[in-house]
Amino acid sequence: MNPYTRPGLSEDQVIDIWSRHYGLTIAQVIPKDRHNKVKIPRQVLMYCLRTFTGLSFGKIAERFDREHCTVLYSCRKVRETYIFDSELKLTIKALLDDLHEVAKLARNDTLMVEISRQDIWKLLDLTEEEKQEPMINLWHRYKNR
């Protein structure tokens, strides 16, 4: 099963909840504007559409007049930002909480589940010797930070 797939929300529901959080319309984020004012909310919307509707990267790309690899990059960027940027993490978490509530799903931190070994190495600033430890030990160390 795709880790992004979360049944129960339509594209319009996700866009509506996202729009309330960011105060933007979808028409404002479709142009290829690279300013953070629209770039980050657009990336978050792509991630949310992928996560809560199960739309393919290609379908989301069509919606935003982009390539599928742009949507893939956006989803990865949101996960990375969520892990490393505590300020933006609060905004994204509030949005995800609202989406989970509407979808009637138990809130689980899907972004954190997808942390890679390299992400944990970066977060913990490990030595080469420590990097050889079993992943479960690294995960516990990270989780208890």
> Is residue 6 one of the residues assigned to a domain?
no
Question: What is residue 123's three-state secondary structure?
Answer: helix
Q: How many domains does the chain have?
A: 2
Task: Determine contact, residues 41/18, Cβ cutoff 8 Å.
Answer: yes
Range of the domain at 125: 115-145
CA separation for the pair 15, 48 (Å, rounded): 9
CA separation for the pair 82, 117 (Å, rounded): 16
Q: Are residues 39 and 96 in the same domain?
A: yes
Answer yes or no: is pLDDT of 43 > 60: yes
Q: Tell me what the mean pLDDT of segment 121-143 comes to.
A: 74
Q: Tell me what the mean pLDDT of segment 111-133 comes to.
A: 69
- Residue 74's domain is classified under what CATH number? 1.10.1750.10
Q: Are residues 43 and 86 in the same domain?
A: yes
CA separation for the pair 139, 27 (Å, rounded): 41
Q: Tell me what the mean pLDDT of segment 11-39 comes to.
A: 87
Global confidence as pTM: 0.68
> Is residue 94 one of the residues assigned to a domain?
yes
Q: Are residues 45 and 62 in the same domain?
A: yes
> Is residue 4 one of the residues assigned to a domain?
no
Task: Determine contact, residues 90/31, Cβ cutoff 8 Å.
Answer: no
Q: Which two tokens mark 12?
A: 């319009």
Report, in angstroms and rounded to the nearest whole number, the Rg of the chain calculated over CA atoms.
Answer: 16
